Amino acid sequence: MRSPLLDLPGAVAADAPDEGVAAHYGNPHAEQRALAQGHGFVDLSHRGVVRISGKDRLGWLHSLLSQHLSALEPGVATEALLLDPQGRIEHALAIVDDGEATWAHVEPGGSGPLVEFLNRMRFLMDVDPQDVTADYALVYEAAGVGEGSGAADPGASDSEVLVRRPAPFTDAAPGRELFLPRARLAEYGASHADPAGLWAYEALRIASHRPRAGFETDARTIPHELGWIGSAVHLDKGCYRGQETVARVENLGHPPRRLVFLHLDGTPEHLPAHGDPVEHDGRQVGTVTSSARHYELGLIALALVKRTVPVDAILQADGVPAAQEIIVAPDTGGTARERLRTR
């Protein structure tokens, strides 16, 4: 679905899986800097949007997803994962409830399969999951956009617009997400200044050590590998699909891989891409999952590597020297076993 904001001056279309929105509007580094300082907006209208209504929705979602949702208050942003029976990640949901329905946005193309699964799990519950991607679009606003900026604020008192306030990016002003009627997307772009593309948004995401489903995940990724415990996985709740794996790793084991942040040597000016090999002492120990050119940090990346890789080792990301910054520690998990050892 092509966004009308691709008609804004300077827009350059993004590649798959982010096709349909802009990669940048002519100056990716300036767009990053503006977002970090609280200016501009990002067109995320390619992401899937799901709406679940019905009085049983929160308790029902609580029983299916990894997050504690049964007492979620209206307007409170949270994250959750849908796991398969073996505890592997299928979908990552960014969630907010408006008091009448629960809304979530997911990766491009993910809303249809997610709603199909949810409908199979309805049974006799008063719930109604719907894929509303064709009707609603997501926009990320940096702090100050609309609010006191002189522009019309579509989130202030507009009943057609739902506001979600995610955790802020590292070293950046807090922002917010708007679930905006898709028919109003072109009007929004025309009335707001400083559009920023996906390259800018992704650079801030990577610098903030935030995993993204489909990039940091593959067919065997479990939550502990990516540091999603706490932010998207609640450890003190009832049963849900895949919980056995989460509990086993948390109490008795360690994840086989761990997410790391890489500071890449900028000398060769080569930016490794998603899926490129990460090597240590001439042997492949992982893969690059996301990468970007950051306006302050230079070339950066996220990678998923074997847990046993020394944390102080200099790695090679597609031939580029890379220093590690720990996101997921090698000793993550195994809390019950550690308690037994210290008795």
Average confidence (pLDDT) over 164-185: 94
Backbone angles phi, psi at 73, to 5 degrees: -80, 150
Tokens of 303: 């990678």
The pLDDT assigned to 293 comes to: 96
Structure confidence at residue 153 as a pLDDT band (50, 70, 90): low
* Number of other CB atoms surrounding residue 186 within 10 Å: 14
Tokens of 65: 């997803």
DSSP code for 239: -
Instruction: Report how far Cα 175 is from the mean position of its chain's Cα atoms.
Output: 14
The angle formed by the CA atoms of residues 128, 60 and 95, to the nearest 5 degrees, is: 75
Residues listed for the chain: 343
The pLDDT assigned to 102 comes to: 98
pTM (predicted TM-score): 0.94
Alpha-carbon distance of 158 to 139, in angstroms, equals 15
Residues facing 302 on adjacent strands: 261, 290
The pLDDT assigned to 336 comes to: 47
The pLDDT assigned to 266 comes to: 85
Average confidence (pLDDT) over 253-259: 96
Average confidence (pLDDT) over 257-266: 96
- Given a cut of 70, whether residue 208 has pLDDT beyond it is yes
* Number of other CB atoms surrounding residue 25 within 10 Å: 23
Lowest-pLDDT choice from 241-245, 251-255, 334-338 = 334-338
Alpha-carbon distance of 18 to 233, in angstroms, equals 26
The burial class, CB within 10 Å (0-12 / 13-18 / 19+), for 259 is buried
The burial class, CB within 10 Å (0-12 / 13-18 / 19+), for 312 is exposed
- Given a cut of 60, whether residue 341 has pLDDT beyond it is no
- Given a cut of 70, whether residue 226 has pLDDT beyond it is yes
- Given a cut of 50, whether residue 242 has pLDDT beyond it is yes
What amino acid is encoded at 86 in this protein?
Answer: Q
The pLDDT assigned to 340 comes to: 41
pLDDT tens-digit series, residues 82-140: 999 999 999 999 999 999 999 999 999 999 999 999 999 999 999 999 999 999 999 99
The pLDDT assigned to 269 comes to: 84
Average confidence (pLDDT) over 22-34: 97
Report in angstroms the alpha-carbon separations of 232 from 69, 89, 100, 242, 270: 11, 11, 22, 14, 33
- Given a cut of 80, whether residue 147 has pLDDT beyond it is no
Residues facing 162 on adjacent strands: 179
Average confidence (pLDDT) over 40-51: 98
pLDDT > 70 fraction of the chain, expressed in percent and rounded: 93
Backbone angles phi, psi at 184, to 5 degrees: -100, 5
pLDDT tens-digit series, residues 2-23: 999 999 999 999 999 999 999 9
Average confidence (pLDDT) over 145-149: 51
Alpha-carbon distance of 188 to 180, in angstroms, equals 9
pLDDT tens-digit series, residues 51-71: 999 999 999 999 999 999 999
* Number of other CB atoms surrounding residue 261 within 10 Å: 19
